[in-house]
Amino acid sequence: MKKKIINGLGKYCTAGTKEKPLVCPLNGQRQQNNYQHTPMQYIEGDPKSAIWIVGLNPKFNNNNNDLHFRNSQSLKNPLTPNTHPYFKPFLRVSGELWKKDINGILSANFAHTDLVCCATEKFPPPPSLLTKPEAELVIENCKPYLIAKLKQNIPKLIIGAGKRTCIELVKTFMSEKDKTGILLQNKNITNSHIEKYHIEKYIEGMTQTTLLIDEKFEVPIIFSVHLSQSNYWSDRRLGREIEQVLGEINYQNLP
Ligand SMILES: [Zn+2]
């Protein structure tokens, strides 16, 4: 296997291999905005959290909490419902996602990161900023960081927020058994077809599956919509599913 060069390139968002380096099309704005952390450091909250919420990409929202101002240390600060408006809906999802300290201060019982590590106002960005193939290249370039972060920390439960993120995670961490199953059902397709066309079909109608992280760790993933598109019923359904999986893996939300 070719050696990945994703580590050690500081604040640049560039992956690929030595022979074939990739550069994220958002790397220019990353340098312009003078990000205070590397893509590998982009994990909000405690990376050792059992639960990881993985979204699509960070959003600029023009306040002092904007991602690029934050360094590796402030990223690790406990996430509170006030850290970013994104986290507010998770309050009504499940109490298992939050803990209270002795002063009654609420903080997240999860870590958060995204498939793409470079912030934009929305993703994919408008065509005036990136063309469609460039937006795809952003995902291809940023994805190895997410893979490396998951392998490094091995969460016990992943909540994938948004279809694209869920598809990329299943595509990356699908077990050979599941791949073989798809191949058997669809005799005319090859492995590369699976990657391109069939993951979406495979996960249609499912709300969870398991990911094979680093070949030994089977980690459940629950598929979720972007929380901004949910309502209180769907939030609680997600919460019930999270609580059920946590019960199955015998995880306890200890103070
Ligand atoms: Zn990037």
The structure's pTM equals 0.89
The full 3-state SS of the chain, as one line of letters, equals: CCCECCCCCCCCCCCEECCCECCCCCHHHHHHCCCCCCHHHCCECCCCCCEEEEECCCECCCCCCCHHHCCHHHHHCCCCCCCCHHHCCHHHHCHHHEEECCCCCEEECEEEEECCCCCECCCCCCCCCCCHHHHHHHHHHHHHHHHHHHHHHCCCEEEEECHHHHHHHHHHHCCHHHHHHHHHHCCCCCHHHHHHHHHHHHHCCCCEEEEEECCCEEEEEEEECCHHHCCHHHHHHHHHHHHHHHHHCCCCCCC
Rounded to whole angstroms, how far apart are CA atoms 89 and 87? 6
Of 83-87, 97-101, 236-240, which gets the smallest average pLDDT?
83-87
The predicted model gives 206-210 an average pLDDT of 94
- Ligand 1 centroid to Cα of residue 155, in Å, is 23
**Structure confidence by residue, pLDDT tens digits, 37-78:** 999 999 999 999 999 999 999 987 665 557 788 899 999 999
Task: Assign 106 a pLDDT band (cuts: 50, 70, 90).
Answer: very high
- Ligand 1 centroid to Cα of residue 138, in Å, is 6
Catalogue all structural domains in the chain, each as residue range(s) with its CATH number: 37-248 (3.40.470.10)
- Ligand 1 centroid to Cα of residue 41, in Å, is 13
Identity of residue 47: P
- Ligand 1 centroid to Cα of residue 249, in Å, is 34
Residue 20 pLDDT greater than 60, yes or no: yes
